[in-house]
Structure 1
Amino acid sequence: MYDVFKVVNWLRVRNYADMQTNPNVEELTQMKAMKLLYYLQAATLSITGHRLFDNDLVAWKYGPVVVVVHDKYAGHREIVGELTDQDRADYALLQADQPTADILNSIYDVYGHSSAYDLMQQTHQEKPWQITRRNQVISDQVIKDFYSGVFVADEN
């Protein structure tokens, strides 16, 4: 299990790299990071049976949120900013863990180019957010039950 901010740094570094190679890539926003964290946690729970990070996902009005990440970036729309050596080290650490890197890269490849709004709309159409009362924790079991048929390990 990783510190959630290491996962956020992975997202920031990956997004920064994408922005360098594609002028159409938008900088990662706080809202989009929340939805990506949600799908990363869902995929990890579904594939490994364990959490990627220890923090709970909470069902807020605009979709799933990791409260400590929201609090850190409160007032900031975009969250990539200037990358530090530590940010890059966090990225390298997660990339070096092959099973984790496979999940991170797969989820980013599928959802990383969607807008924050589209990801919010998508989470609102899915059972875990729908059945969880606002401002309550979305249970790991509900997430796992819903996404186990969606996120599956690649057998190749």
Structure 2
Amino acid sequence: MRRYEADELTQMKVMQLLYYVQGAYLSIYGCRAFSDDILASSKGPSIIAVQEQYRGQMAIVGQLTDTDLDDYDYVCKQSKLLATLTAVWDAYGELSTVEIAKQTHAEQPWRETKLGQAIDPKVLQHYFTAEIVQ
């Protein structure tokens, strides 16, 4: 029997982690890791595509589809993206959904964006360069 100390992976936590992926990637490579906007919502950074993909599901674990496996193969071939994903997971993956949400709520890009609006990638890049990426 396996025992894990971490929370189950939730839709909310995935969006928080993707916020860190986008910010780190912008800071390091000067371009987006993915094209979707990150919106400031009352629960923190959110991504419409993730919300639509997992509508009605809190936890997003389960059976992998062929599309999921294709996406995984694609990411594994993108060395910069894979390195960024790995670094973000290593830094934030053990945080609970509540802990990571509190952290993103305290950060400038989310605080300075009106609810429902996209977080400006330039603001994200500047913040991550100054405060997160070392």
User: Do the two structures share a fold, i.e. TM-score over 0.5?
Assistant: yes
Matched, 1:50 2:31: yes
Q: What secondary structure is seen at the aligned counterpart in 1 of 2:59?
A: coil
Q: What secondary structure is seen at the aligned counterpart in 2 of 1:35?
A: helix
Matched, 1:59 2:45: no
CA distance in 2, matches of 1:99, 1:132: 28
TM-score under structure 1 length normalisation: 0.79
Structure 2 runs not aligned, ≥5 long: none
CA RMSD of aligned residues (A): 1.6
CA distance in 1, matches of 2:87, 2:112: 26
Matched, 1:27 2:8: yes
Q: What secondary structure is seen at the aligned counterpart in 2 of 1:64?
A: strand
Matches within 5 A, 1:1-156: 22-149=3-130, 150-152=132-134
Give 1:129 shift: 0.5
TM-score under structure 2 length normalisation: 0.91
Structure 1 runs not aligned, ≥5 long: 1-19
Q: What secondary structure is seen at the aligned counterpart in 2 of 1:37?
A: helix
Q: Which has the higher contact order (CA 8 A, sep 6+)?
A: 2
Instruction: Give the length in aligned residue pairs.
Output: 133
The runs of at least 4 aligned residues of structure 1 exceeding 3 Å deviation read none
8 Å contact 2:39–2:119 — kept in the other structure? yes
CA distance in 1, matches of 2:28, 2:67: 28
Q: Percent identity?
A: 38
CA distance in 2, matches of 1:21, 1:86: 27
